[in-house]
Amino acid sequence: MSVLIYIDSADGHVKKSSLEALTYGSTLATQLDVSAEAVILGNSSDDIAALGKYGVKKIYHANNDLLNHLDAQVFTNVISEAVTACGASVIIFSNNVNGKSIAPRLSAKLKAGLVSGAVELPVLSASGAFTVKKAVFSGKAFANISITTAVKIITVAPNSYKTIAGEGTAEVVLLNTTIGTPKIKITAVNKVTGQVPLSEADIVVSAGRGLKGPENWGMIEEMAKLLGAATACSRPVADTDWRPHHEHVGQTGLAIAPNLYIAIGISGAIQHLAGVNRSKTIVVINKDPEAPFFKAADYGIIGDAFDVVPKMNEAIKKMKGL
């Protein structure tokens, strides 16, 4: 028996969210007293064996060009071979783009109960119940869900479980399987390079309609650069094309849970909060003392963004000795 963790990669590099999944999975394996093993698909330019420091002993590598782009159907079949190879009783994914695509398929294929977006390790009761906590109602509540099947699948919410690196290398085993022809053909990839992907960012600097227009985002981008942060925005800002759609956070945009979320000129409507309320620390800059966002904030400044933000940037530079 084992816990099998799916290692997600893009352009040959392992994603940060997978390191969280590896830590989560190997911690769970220790609790269950079974081995922690992992599976990675496609070519990789990273040192896969070194991922052993996150607690996995063995990594199955399906090293095939056809697996460099996601076709969930093909990936599901390969991963299910790894499940059989290691006799996995729990399979862990990150609840990221690929995890959301593959885990449900695997769940239906194996008839293995799935909880998506786990925020903590499962609770194992003496009676054998296996209960996983996840955020529901867009972060306004949590549900404890028990998985009632022998084989279980969990996807871990990004930024919910801290990566722990120890010592050790993993044994890398090539997974030789026949790979189906992908039915999905990728014709173009448009990636913003050099930027932290919003879903993986530790720090997010976000701005709303209070900034008046797209020409005023220079100071926001500067702050993001100084902090190594990703930028985000409220829905009306994306709707009016001041900022790209993929920056839209909230109930109908991306839900994120960074360590630090800085909201500038955003009122804090309930639908906006729904996407950011699981951030560990929230800072609000708003000129209206009645802005609802202050109720959800840890730190705040009541003031004009055009005055406060440049001052913050100067203070960050000073702190960092820049």
Partner 1 sequence: MKILVCISKTPDTTAKIAFTDNNTKFDNNGVQWIINPYDEWYALVRAIELKEKDPSIVIHLCTVGSADADPIIRKALALGGDEAIRVNADSHDSFFIASQIAEIAKIGYDLIFTGKETIDYNGSSIGGMVAELLNLPYVSLATKFEQSGNKAIITREIEGGEEICEVEFPVTVSCQKGMAEQRIPNMRGIMAARTKTLKVVEPIAIEALTAITSFELPPAKAGVKLVSPDNVEELIRLLHEEAKVI
Ligand X SMILES: Cc1cc2nc3c(=O)[nH]c(=O)nc-3n(C[C@H](O)[C@H](O)[C@H](O)COP(=O)(O)OP(=O)(O)OC[C@H]3O[C@@H](n4cnc5c(N)ncnc54)[C@H](O)[C@@H]3O)c2cc1C
Site for partner 1 in 89-108 (CB under 8 A): 95-97, 100-108
Alpha carbons 234 and 232: distance in angstroms, whole number: 7
Counting residues that bind partner 1 (by CB under 8 A) gives: 102
CB of 174 to partner 1, least distance (A): 26
* Among 109, 216, 221, 267, contact with partner 1 (rule: CB under 8 A): 109
- 210, interface contact from partner 1, ligand X, none, CB < 5-8 Å by kind: ligand X
CB of 236 to ligand X, least distance (A): 5
CB of 51 to ligand X, least distance (A): 35
Single out the residue of 30, 31, 24 nearest to residue 6, CA to CA: 24
State the residue for tokens 């009783």: 89
CB of 37 to partner 1, least distance (A): 23
CB of 242 to ligand X, least distance (A): 10
Contact 105, 72 (CB under 8 A): yes
Which residues in 201-220 contact ligand X (CB under 6 A)?
Answer: 208-210
Q: What is the 3-state secondary structure (H, E, C) of 96-136?
A: CHHHHHHHHHHHHHHCCEEEEEECCCCEECCCCCEEEEEEE
CB atoms within 10 A of CB 276: 27
| CA dihedral sign, ordered 15, 20, 24, 26 | positive
By CB under 6 A, residue 100 contacts ligand X: no
Q: Give the x-and-dash track for 271-290 against ligand X (CB under 6 A).
A: xx--x---------xxxx--
- 267, interface contact from ligand X, partner 1, none, CB < 5-8 Å by kind: ligand X
Kindly give the pairing relationship between strand 35-41 and strand 281-286.
unpaired
